[in-house]
């Protein structure tokens, strides 16, 4: 059985069909890309997987158990964590305190939560910044903090929403290495990303959304050759020779 199953999920907001009959499965341990043009429905699908939004129809299952509609706390307890496209740190709190917010979900005692948060900061390359206020971090450090807060909840599946967007190539490369390290920890990753040079080498498969629907699912080499994907999203500059 696949770790995560998206089964015929649809969600509309007023007249806008954000997700339409979306189905795919995510295998344990994989890094899956979720790509497509602006407004294709990528963040909306993350919102449903993380329990923040209830699909109008269809179901999302983790290990065969329905998680859609349970709400964000229950989804986090079951092992779903996410980062946000627009970074959401608690600016007036320290970096360590921000990560402790995540760690408290698995550690009731403050001392234990602090230790877990410190370990996560080290893993994310932010150990030296623990006592800084979150607002003082650079943009790439804020992305790492966002990831650290999510990882501190000890997820089975990590949803990354444009974590590498807006970073320089060197900063993005650091992010890529961090995602690989997350995978080596046994965490399954679904990542939304627009920078194809970064995302395609990283993922085993990519799901392409367009106008709320799945356009295709395949290995990166198949995706870049798919005429429909090129037309809807990639454009000629990414087309394989
Ligand atoms: N809470 C909401 N209320 C109203 N409309 C929404 C809401 N959430 C999403 N939508 C609409 O659903 C569609 C899909 O949006 P979504 O944010 O999922 O796209 P996306 O693929 O993440 O795009 P981007 O690459 O720009 O982040 C858009 O038309 C958006 O305006
Ligand atoms: Mg989005």
- Summarised one tens digit per residue, pLDDT across range 22-32 is 999 999 999 99
> Distance from the CA of 52 to the center of ligand 2, in angstroms?
14
- Mean pLDDT calculated for residue range 19-42: 97
Within the chain, which residue ranges are assigned CATH 3.40.50.300? 1-34+57-80+188-221
Q: Report the C-alpha gap between 24 and 98 in whole angstroms.
A: 33
pLDDT higher than 60, residue 107: yes
Q: Report the C-alpha gap between 65 and 51 in whole angstroms.
A: 14
Local confidence band at 237 (pLDDT 50, 70, 90 cut-offs): low
First-residue to last-residue Cα distance in the chain: 37
pLDDT mean across residues, the chain: 94
Q: Which CATH architecture has domain 1-34+57-80+188-221?
A: 3-Layer(aba) Sandwich (3.40)
- Describe the chain by its helix, strand, coil percentages, rounded to 5: 40, 25, 35
> Distance from the CA of 41 to the center of ligand 2, in angstroms?
7
**186: region left, alpha or beta (phi > 0 left; psi from -120 to 50 alpha):** left
Asked if residue 213 has its Cβ within 6 Å of ligand 1, the reply is no
Q: Which ligand is nearest to the CA of 48?
A: 1
Instruction: Choose which residue among 17, 18, 232 to substitute to test ligand 1 binding: the one with the highest number of ligand atoms within 8 A of its C-beta.
Output: 18
pTM of the entire structure?
Answer: 0.95
- Mean pLDDT calculated for residue range 35-60: 97
- Ion ligand 2 neighbours (CB, 5 A) are 42-43, 85
Burial of 205 (0-12, 13-18, 19+ CB in 10 A): middle
pLDDT higher than 70, residue 151: yes
Nearest protein Cα to ligand 1, atom 31: 39
Express each pLDDT in 162-201 by its tens digit. 999 889 999 999 999 999 999 999 999 999 998 888 899 9
Non-local CB neighbours of 32 within 8 Å, separated by 6+ positions: 26, 188, 189, 190, 191, 203, 204, 205, 206, 207
């Amino acid at each position: 059985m696949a770790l995560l199953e998206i089964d015929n999920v649809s969600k509309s907001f007023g007249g806008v069909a954000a997700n339409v009959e979306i189905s795919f499965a995510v295998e344990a341990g994989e890094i899956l890309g979720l790509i497509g043009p602006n407004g294709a429905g990528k963040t909306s699908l993350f919102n449903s997987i993380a329990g923040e939004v209830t699909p109008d129809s269809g179901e999302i299952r983790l290990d065969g158990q329905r998680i859609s509609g349970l709400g964000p706390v229950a989804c986090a307890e079951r092992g779903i964590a996410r980062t946000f496209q627009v970074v959401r740190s608690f600016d007036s709190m320290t970096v360590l305190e921000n990560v402790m917010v995540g760690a408290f979900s698995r550690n009731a005692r403050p001392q234990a939560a602090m230790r877990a948060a410190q370990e996560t900061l080290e893993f994310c390359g932010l150990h030296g910044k623990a006592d800084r206020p979150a607002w003082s971090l650079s943009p790439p450090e804020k992305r790492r903090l966002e990831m650290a807060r999510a990882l501190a909840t000890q997820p089975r599946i990590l949803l990354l929403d444009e974590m590498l967007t807006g970073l320089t190539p060197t900063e993005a490369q650091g992010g890529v290495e961090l995602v690989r390290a997350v995978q080596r920890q046994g965490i399954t990753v679904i990542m939304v990303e627009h920078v194809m040079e970064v995302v395609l080498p990283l993922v085993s498969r990519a799901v392409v959304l367009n106008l709320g629907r799945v356009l295709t699912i395949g290995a990166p080499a198949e995706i870049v050759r798919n005429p429909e994907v090129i037309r809807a999203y990639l454009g000629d500059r990414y087309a394989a020779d």
